Amino acid sequence: MKCLSCGAEIENGEKFCTNCGTPVPQVEEKKEAPEPVKKPERKRHRALSPWGYFGLEFLYFIPVIGLLFLIILSFSRNINVRNFTRSYWCALLVFLIAAIVGTAVLYATGYSGQVINYISELMQSLPKF
Ligand SMILES: [Zn+2]
């Protein structure tokens, strides 16, 4: 390479120009930037076992308490729990719409009285404690 100051030829490895003494800019070898160490995300992505899903579903099925857990676990840190809980909301919504439509159809067709009679007969036939 050539000296930046006087233009004399400098041999590789020299730190100063042999002609004028100007320091030779050292070409630094580019060091590979170390990959940022990712924190283990095992907790956030930990898979749920089939029994885990079963347990969650059972939990959500409990009146009132289940709803509470549904709301809380919709924001769970574990992505699998979070997604499962949110999908449960969708299933609940579909179930609610079906129940509303079903009830409306029963009333509209005039079968609601018969259904109510059937249910009350069923209740009476249950063993008393
Ligand atoms: Zn020089």
The domains of the chain are located at 62-125
Cβ neighbours around 57 below 10 Å, total: 13
Which pLDDT band, with edges at 50, 70 and 90, does 129 fall under?
Answer: low
Amino acid at residue number 116 = I
Task: Kindly write down the DSSP assignment for every residue of 53-120, as one continuous string.
Answer: HHHHHHHHHSTTHHHHHHHHHTT-SSHHHHHHHHHHHHHHHHHHHHHHHHHHHHHHHT-HHHHHHHHH
- At 28, is the secondary structure helix, strand, or coil? coil
Predicted TM-score (pTM) above 0.95: no
CA of 119 to the centre of ligand 1 (A): 104
Instruction: For residue 27, report the distance from its CA to the centre of ligand 1, in Å.
Output: 17
Contact 48, 57 (CB under 8 A): no
- Confidence band (pLDDT; 50, 70, 90) for 107? confident
Dihedral sign, Cα of residue 61, residue 67, residue 70, residue 73: negative
Q: Could you tell me the distance, in angstroms and rounded to a whole number, from the CA of residue 30 to the centre of ligand 1?
A: 26
Mean pLDDT of 78-83: 93
- Residue 22 contacts residue 16 (beta carbons within 8 Å): yes
Q: Taking all residues of the chain, what is their mean pLDDT, rounded to a whole number? A: 87
CA of 24 to the centre of ligand 1 (A): 9
23 CA to middle of ligand 1, Å? 8
Distance (Å) from CA 72 to ligand 1 centroid: 72
Ligand 1: distance of its center to the CA of 28 in Å? Answer: 20
